[in-house]
Amino acid sequence: MRKKQKMHVKIGDNVKVISGSDKNKTGEIIKLYRNTGKIVIKGINFKFKHVKPTKEGDVGEIKQFEAPIHHSNVKLNLKES
């Protein structure tokens, strides 16, 4: 059994990314994963998933989604506008 991580942020908080490829970007937390200590931020850390067609005649597509990042890579953004 995994221990739930204690986090310094909660859903709805505005945070600033302090490391990684999205450094200095700000956004709002939309999801928490307490078991892994990761968070999903609106508009940050976009990844792409290539989906093959499942049936004949279908068209494949590229889905874009926000991937989770570790909570230690963000800090609370105190300037909320």
Dmax (CA) for the chain in angstroms is 52
Instruction: Give residue 2's pLDDT.
Output: 67
Three-state SS string across the chain, please? CCCCCCCCCCCCCEEEECCCCCCCCEEEEEEEECCCCEEEECCCCEEEEEECCCCCCCCCEEEEEECCEEHHHEEECCCCC
CATH numbers and ranges of domains, the chain: 14-76 (2.30.30.30)
Considering the entire predicted model, what is its pTM?
A: 0.82
For 2-46, the pLDDT digits (tens) are 678 888 999 999 999 999 999 999 999 999 999 999 999 999 999
pLDDT of residue 78: 80
Tokens at residue 20, please?
Answer: 């990684």
